[in-house]
A and B are shown apart, each in its own frame.
Chain A
Amino acid sequence: MYSLSVIVRTICDVFAWFLAVFGVYVIIHGHLTPGGGFQGGAVVATLFAFLLVAYGGKKFIPFYKSNLFSWFETVGLLLFIGTGLVGLGTTFFYNFLAGQGGLFGSTVPIGPNSGVLNSSGTIALMNMAVGVEVIGGLSLILYYMFKGIRLYEESGSEETGHDR
């Protein structure tokens, strides 16, 4: 896959930041607005597809740290299970933080309200854990499938862009 022209790459440099910020927003506001860990993680993983299309594999593969993202995936899943296990004193996945004050412990007014970010207990924590896991997982799938495409090409062939 070749890298695209300088116009596409410049636009990509600008909008990649908006994509990342929007994905993280969807993750951390998962208990207030429509969205959550899976959706926000998918948005952030789209960022890597964007970079891959704009810059081509030759620049993307050294840029993408696959070890780091495997760690993201593992840590996200372990954090999710761990948050469920801490509530095991009552039941598995018991929400032990909701309404206690402190971290994510504020109560919300009943009925329509403007939203309290510091609420909902373990739901927010699990949103973040699942978000981290989905970021790692989807971008790893993308990366390895792209490397799988490159298996077809001859090993010696040089990639040539449009303007370099």
Chain B
Amino acid sequence: MKRQVLFLVALIIVVGTLWGGLSRIHQFGDPGAAPMDDYYLHNAQAERSANNIVTSIVFDYRGFDTLGEAAVLFTAVCSVLVVFRKGGHN
């Protein structure tokens, strides 16, 4: 019983914060002023000479992020190999 009451309180907090956050958010389709994104849109072609702005952000402006992502993928593959290795467990 006590557990269920605690659970109900936690659920109300989670849903309340989610609703509060989503109700204060900006209108859909109107993100307002975005100087960083506008800088990328206007200057990325001249600076990095790539037509695809998303790719030039992923691999150049924020390449360090992508390095972490590639490392995460590598780690996941290694973990799957370790889980299914021959003659483990048993």
Contacts and interface: CB of A to CB of B under 8 A. Distances in A.
Given a CB threshold of 8 Å, the question of whether A touches B is answered with yes
A137 B67 CA distance: 15
A134 B69 CA distance: 11
Given A141-B80, A145-B84, A121 B74 contact: no
Interface in B50-71: 50-52, 54-56, 58-60, 63-64, 66-67, 70-71
Interface in A107-127: 107-108, 110-111, 113, 115, 119-123, 126-127
Contact of B51 (A95, A113, A130, A151): A113
Interface residues of B, number: 28
Given A31-B56, A123-B56, A144-B84, A77 B51 contact: no
The binding surface of chain B is classed by DSSP as helix
Interface string A80-104: 1100100000001101001100000
Nearest to A137: B77
Interface of B: 45-52, 54-56, 58-60, 63-64, 66-67, 70-71, 73-74, 76-77, 80-81, 83-84
Given A108-B45, A147-B84, 10 more contacts: A30-B55, A31-B52, A32-B52, A34-B52, A34-B54, A80-B70, A98-B47, A98-B50, A137-B76, A144-B81
